[in-house]
Amino acid sequence: MQNHAYVVNGFLHGTVSPLDRGLAYGDGVFRTIKVVDGMPECWSLHYQKLESDCSAIGIVCPSADLLMSDMQQLIQTGEDSVAKIIITRGDGERGYTLPAVSMPSRIVIKSAMPQYPEAYASLGVRLSICDTRLPWQPKLAGIKHLNRLENVLARMEWHDPEIFDGILLDNECHVIECTSANIFARHANVLITPMLDNCGVAGVTRQRIIDSVHSLGLQAKVDVITIEQLLKADEIIICNSIHGALSVRQIQENVIPTTQLANVIRRTLVE
C-alpha cells in the first residue's frame, strides 16, 4: 500500500487552492479514523463529531454519504489503514472577514496503519510533561480544529524514541490531554478524565470510554485534574482512535502502576 493517497473535493490527487482559508488561517476541522478490513470504525460517531465541530465554527459539513464516497475511492476492500478527513471553509479573499458565500473544501487522506511495538500493549508507554501550555479559548474547547500549533511546539520538545507522547497542561497547570491522545486517571473505581471546558480536544474514543466503563464496574467522571493528582493515580490510561487504550507506565521519572484495564478497555472498544 502507498504511504499516502488523497482525494480533494472528490478528485483523486486533486489540489488545494492557495486561497483556501484552512491553509491561510487553520479555518477548519478534522478527524482521524481507524480503517479495519476496509471499513472506517465508528463512522457514525466520527461523522456526528465532525458535523458538530463544523457547526461550532459556522461551516456547513459535507454529507456523510459524500465523505464516504471520497473514502471509498481510497480504501481497498479488506485493508487496514488510517483515514483523515479535513473540512475547511474553502476559498476566501485576503483578511479574516468571512466570505459572503463560501463553499467548504473537503480533503480525505489515506495513510498506512502505524505498527506499534507489542510492549506498548503489554507493558505500557512512557510520557513526558510538556513545557508548552494550552491557552484557554472556550469557544474552541473540545473541537478538533486545524489550529494545532501548540501541539506542534509540544511535540518538538522531546527526541527520545522511548517517549510515546507528551502531557499538555493549561496555564493553571491543569492536565488537559496528550499531544495526540486523551487521558484518564483511575482513583479506586473512578476513572477521571480532564474537563475540557476551556481548551483541549474531546475525542470520540474518550467519549466511548466514558459511556462504556460502567460495564467494567467503574464510574466515569469528568473533572479538573492537577498534575499532582495525576501522578498519585492508581493507574493512567491514554486513548485515541488509532491505538485505542494504552496503559502509562512512566511519566518522566515517576513510575506509574499498571494493570490489565487498558487491555480490557481496548478489547471492549472493538466488540
Catalytic center residues? 32, 144, 177
Contact 197, 250 (CB under 8 A): no
Residue 156 φ/ψ, nearest 5 degrees:
-75, -10
DSSP bridge pairs for 169:
133, 175
The identity of residue 153, as a single letter, is L
Distances (CA, A) of 17 to 14, 57, 104: 10, 21, 12
Q: What is the C-alpha separation between 52 and 73, in angstroms, rounded?
A: 25
| DSSP states of 21-58 | HHHHH--EEEEEEEEETTEETTHHHHHHHHHHHHHHTT
